[in-house]
Structure 1
Amino acid sequence: MANEVLAQPALWGAVGGLVVAVFNQAFTFWKEHRHRRDEHQRERTRTALTVAVALESFALDCANCIERIQVLRKLPGPFSHPDFPALEMPASPDWRWVRPHLASEILGLALKVKASHQQLPKGPSLPGSPNARPDGDELCRRKSLVRFCPR
């Protein structure tokens, strides 16, 4: 009987210690999982913002180029082609956070832009050509468009 009285608290102590250890491990695992999930979300957000800024910058450069071409098409005289913007992707994005089909589209866009630039005609065009423009110095003298002047 004396052994049962001493064994009972020892058994409860062992079971209680086991329960506390399991709870502690489960809580630690949950905390680490949450921390990793939050860290991965921050990385996904950072990558998305990096890529979005690069694409927005390219879109803004394209819009400015289109505006410049529209202004230059209205001017008479000999024309030469403008410098078209290049798509420059930052080297820092971690592409593993971008879905594969989106990464393929984004990275493929840079190739499409390069291919488009190679298909454009080089050198001056004939006067009156709809896709040509005068050189920058002549344009500045004619219209005093300071923002189009070479720096």
Structure 2
Amino acid sequence: MTFPYTYPLMSVRECNSDQTACSVGVVKLHSDTVLQDVSDTGATVLVSVTYDLGRSQVIGDTVMTTREEIPSDVPALKGASHFEKTVTIPLGEMRHLTFDHGVEFGICVAAADQYTLPANGACAMDDILTGKPPKTPISSL
């Protein structure tokens, strides 16, 4: 099973120490997660994540296209990174990757209930989504 996902476009910026000059960019983050094996204690997955930072980004499908662009008179950030690795993740434990400018990718594996939602509240991201630090450290991939 392959799970491709392109995340909503994100604006990031980098400023000098006085906050008097800043550069801005748009990040497109795409992941492909391939489920390779599942056991009672975890899952082995191929994780492939592409980070693309530039003046302009476009995402879309056959129904809708979204474009975000930094004006030409604003200094733009540029960069790219790719991560690909096969990992075994224990059930209910979060793993993460950190990219430039504070962009993070997180992955967690949980058994699913009858509605294909994580069972027993495993992999809950409520704290992360509200900006609270996690109760336990999150390991890197």
Is the pair's TM-score, using the shorter chain for normalization, greater than 0.5?
no
**TM-score, normalised with respect to structure 2:** 0.22
Tell me which protein shows more helix as a share of its residues. 1
Which has more strand, going by share of residues?
2
Which is greater in Rg? 1
Give the TM-score normalised by structure 1: 0.21
